[in-house]
Amino acid sequence: MNKKDLTSQALSFCPIIPPKDEPEILTYDEEGRMWVHIRADRAEQVSLRIYEKEYPFSRGEDGIWHLMCPVREGIVYVQLLIDCMEVLTPYLPICYGYSRPYNCVMVEEKNDFYALKNVPHGTVRREYYFASCIEEWESCIVYTPPGYDENPERRYPVLYLQHGHGENEIGWTTSGKVNFILDNLIADSKAVPFIIVMCNGMVQKCTEEGKRVVDYTLFPELLIRDVIPWIEKRFRIQTDKKYRAMAGLSMGSIHTAVMAFTHPEYFEYVGIFSGFLHDFIQGDGQMDMIQREASQNLHLKVLDNAEKFNKNFSIFFRCIGKSDPFIDQFMLDDKLLEEKEIRCIRKVYDGTHDWNVWRKCIWDFAQMIFKSDNMRL
């Protein structure tokens, strides 16, 4: 087991080395089980929350708290609790989730399709653009494939790839490893080289009272008005519809459905990952910070014309984990599409609503898009 795989994080490529008096936070025993070790000298209790379940640590004779971690492979967000108080430790990997920095545990899987390998690598860049719809600067992450800088005459297809609720533009590279996934696919000739643009879908704005709130419904306008025109000027992009795709996970799938169904002239390929055709976030008391009525889902009217819809998109891909808490909503969308005679590619993976599934989603989707036999030249 490569120690860097256990502790690498968004803030530092190299592992965080604890001070002399701190224990090594993650270790493996002879049977291959992973242990978490925490120093909390004055604590009465220490636990680790994974999803909705808490796992208590035991205090050892050395005063260090120990827990055999239930995570077996992949990436899982974890919350350390010391005397019932949520704590962010600098010694575990730090990602971004639930609208704040969050610890996670990363364990190398047997299937290393997302691993950093000795293949040609693309470049991940942070870019800044002015969002006219909110009159503020915004940031996005852009992946350019291997050879982009060395081939100044070549233009590339582009995928607009969105994160989920409570995350931001860094998620697909720090947690999703999408850049390594695409590097490996391109090296194996399983995907054509293309650019990926990852924006912040948790768009913030100021209310008249000066309070900052998230209005995720602004993202489609931001994408059309600001992101796409700016990206096509800033990078060497093929600007025809057949060279443009959009996909997203969870909330990002809502963004994708709204955008692609409302503007089918923009996108040839559509990916709905662990996601939804209906916008159920708008009007939700917890997830929607704006006080408003539920969405009327007007974008779904496009499904009434199956022949036109099926011609609009070369690939319409929907996928989810079989243990996903939203699987029932996914299956309701199955029935809707069947009734409307909408053609789609559907896949269900082992797993739940997390990055272990979403990595597989993009691995599959990347192999479907921008292939010459799918393009209407």
**Could you tell me if 55 and 68 are in contact, meaning their C-beta atoms sit under 8 angstroms apart?**
no
The per-residue b/e assignment along 30-62, b for 16 or more CB within 10 angstroms, e otherwise, is eeeebebbbbbeebeebbbeeeeeebebebeee
**Token pair 């490529």: residue:** 13
Domains and CATH numbers, the chain: 3-107 (2.60.40.10), 123-374 (3.40.50.1820)
> CA 260, 264, 270, 276: dihedral to nearest 10 degrees?
40
Can you tell me the distance from the alpha carbon of 148 to that of 200, in angstroms, rounded to the nearest whole number? Answer: 24
pLDDT of residue 10: 66
pLDDT of residue 208: 83
> What pLDDT digit, counting tens, does each position of 253-281 carry?
999 999 999 999 999 999 999 999 999 99
pLDDT of residue 14: 77
In 10 A of CB 158, how many CB atoms? 24
- Calculate what percentage of the chain has a pLDDT beyond 90: 78
Q: Is 351 left (phi over 0), alpha (psi -120 to 50) or beta?
A: left
Question: Which of 9-13, 70-74, 127-131, 271-275 has the weakest average pLDDT?
Answer: 9-13
- Taking each helix axis from N to C terminus, what angle separates 355-368 and 178-187, rounded to the nearest 10 degrees? 40
Residue in 324, 311, 317 with CA at minimum distance from that of residue 248:
317
Beta carbons within 8 Å of 337's beta carbon, 6+ residues apart: 277, 303, 344
* Pairing outcome for strands 158-162 and 123-131: unpaired
pLDDT band, residue 223 (cuts 50/70/90):
very high
In 10 A of CB 351, how many CB atoms? 19
Residue in 92, 74, 99 with CA at minimum distance from that of residue 321:
74
Indicate if the pLDDT at residue 12 is higher than 90: no
pLDDT of residue 375: 46
Average pLDDT, the chain: 92
Amino acid of residue 206: C
Indicate if the pLDDT at residue 144 is higher than 60: yes
Question: Which of 104-108, 160-164, 280-284, 298-302 has the weakest average pLDDT?
Answer: 104-108
> Nearest 5 degrees, angle CA 178-CA 180-CA 184?
115
End-to-end Cα distance, the chain: 47
**Could you tell me if 156 and 195 are in contact, meaning their C-beta atoms sit under 8 angstroms apart?**
yes
Can you tell me the distance from the alpha carbon of 354 to that of 356, in angstroms, rounded to the nearest whole number? Answer: 6
pLDDT average, residue stretch 349-356: 95
> Nearest 5 degrees, angle CA 176-CA 180-CA 185?
115
Please, which residues bridge with residue 156 across strands? 237
Distance of CA 174 to the CA centre of its chain: 9
Over 214-278, what HEC string results? ECHHHHHHHHHHHHHHHHHHHCCECCCHHHEEEEEECHHHHHHHHHHHHCCCCCCEEEEECCCCC
